[in-house]
Chain A
Amino acid sequence: MIDITSILTIVFVAAGIFFLLIGSIGIIRLPDFYSRTHATSKSDTLGMMLVIIGLMIFEGLTINSGKLFLILLFILLANPVGAHALARAALNSGLKPIFPDNKKDKTEG
């Protein structure tokens, strides 16, 4: 019952869920908005790509596999663009990044 397709699917999906867990922990633990954006953008994109590649291996070469590939391509383009737009909006609206010398002067700003 255990063949090479099942083993590859289990490995890819487990690795993807591990990276999604890393992204969630980064959203909780990191101290700043910009570092949180960094964590969620890259880790979530990689984890989602790994899970969907595992599902494509499980599916085989059908039309559903092609649709899964379209979802993968769309998220690969859209998720970093969304994170960039959000970070640029935050920078335009005056949110300061956290720096060691930025933390000293609390008088202005």
Chain B
Amino acid sequence: MDSFFLYAAVVLTAIIAIPAYRVVKGPTVFDRLVGTNAIATKTIVLICLIGYVFGRIDMFIDITLAYAILGFIGSLTIAKYFSSEKINVRYDD
């Protein structure tokens, strides 16, 4: 069962690397923020799985709770900050 959690964590790491493409190459700043938000959500799951791989889930769960709350507050703050800027980007292609 430990090896299953290890394989799941490796596959999830490969999945996390996919939205980094959108973070680097997004046309607007909101595309980059969506990519960052997706990476944060998947990282929460990854930290839980790593806790089971290491066998110390009682420590990693608190890290996961703090990371989830910080990611949510950061996302809301950045959304409120960028809400007042005017951008002119159209998806033409």
Q: A residues bordering B, Cβ < 8 Å?
A: 6, 9-10, 13-14, 16-17, 20-21, 23-25, 27-28, 31-33, 36-37, 40, 44-45, 47-48, 51-52, 55, 58-59, 64, 67-68, 70-71, 74-75, 78-79, 81-83, 85-86, 88-90, 92-96, 98, 103, 106, 109
- The answer on a CB contact under 8 Å between B91 and A71 is no
7 other A-B residue contacts (CB within 8 Å) besides A48-B44, A85-B76: A33-B34, A40-B41, A74-B72, A82-B37, A82-B79, A83-B34, A90-B30
Most buried by A among B21, B45, B75, B88: B45
Q: How far is the CB of B57 from chain A (nearest CB, A)?
A: 5
User: B33–A94 contact, CB under 8 A?
Assistant: no
Task: Verify B12–A86 contact, CB threshold 8 A.
Answer: no
Count of B interface residues, CB-CB < 8 Å: 50
The 10 A-B pairs of least Cβ separation, nearest first, read: A89-B83, A24-B18, A78-B72, A82-B75, A85-B79, A89-B79, A90-B30, A40-B38, A44-B41, A67-B61
